Structure formats: C-alpha cells, structure tokens
Amino acid sequence: MRFVDTNVLLYAISRDPGESAKAERANEILEDGDLGLSVQVLQEFFVQATRSTRPDALPHEQAVALIESFLRFPAQEITPAVMTAALGTCERFGISYWDAAILEAARTLGCDVVLSEDLSDGESYDGMRVENPFR
C-alpha cells in the first residue's frame, strides 16, 4: 500500500494551468484503491484548499465533501504512539516533526512507500521509501 501526502490531494484539485500535468498525475494516483493517508493529511488539505489567499480556494462545503470522499482510503489517526515514533524519526533524520508524522502514520498503516513532493525522492527512512510522483 502507498501513502499519499497532502500535496497529492492538493494537486488533484488544482485548476492552475501551470499544474495541469501534476493535477492529471494526482488524479491517476487517487484512482488506485491501494492507498492510505492520515488525519493529519486531511487536516492539512482542508486548511490549504480553503485558504483565502489560494487562487482556486474551495468553499467549506466542497472541501468537506472531498475529505469525506478521501475517507474511502484507510486514514491513520495521530495517536500517542504515532506521535512518539515521529519525535524519534524527527531527531534521527533531521526532518520536520510534520514530515516525520507522515512517515510514522504511513508505517503504522503498513505502507511501504510515501508519495510526496516534500521529502527527498528515493530516500529511505528506516525502510519507509519516499517517491516523488511528480518528477
């Protein structure tokens, strides 16, 4: 199973002509049923998708409806165990807590790959491999 980071969800809704190839790729990824995500990813999606400074900001209701549709994929909660593991990953690899929480949520769900534009493509974090699907 592959884990999708927030940027995959955001590109899927982008109407920016400069991001059309990424939007197409993101929607192809979301058509795959073997995906996971986390509550953190869904929260980040909502905040960014409805941000008033976003040129193609979504109204609240549309963002909520999309989140409900994304719940067709397994969604890992940020539990105390996930948080504690993320704190260790943050320290060990020198990455942000939020990126570490993504990795640990993916690991907890049983994913072996994180699809993200934010982490280093090809990097392995204690066996959790990162792939940039937009390269």
Domain of residue 100: give its range: 2-131
- Average pLDDT, integer, range 81-93: 97
pLDDT score at 79:
97
Q: Write the CATH number for 96.
A: 3.40.50.1010
- Residues of the chain with pLDDT > 70: what percent? 100
Could you tell me which residues come within 8 angstroms of residue 134 by beta carbon, excluding any fewer than 6 positions away? 7, 11, 21, 22, 25, 26, 117
Structural domain total, the chain: 1
- Average pLDDT, integer, range 119-125: 93
pLDDT score at 32:
85
Distance CA 100, CA 125 (A): 9
pLDDT digits (tens, 9 = 90+) for 19-76: 999 999 999 999 987 999 999 999 999 999 999 999 989 999 999 999 999 999 999 9
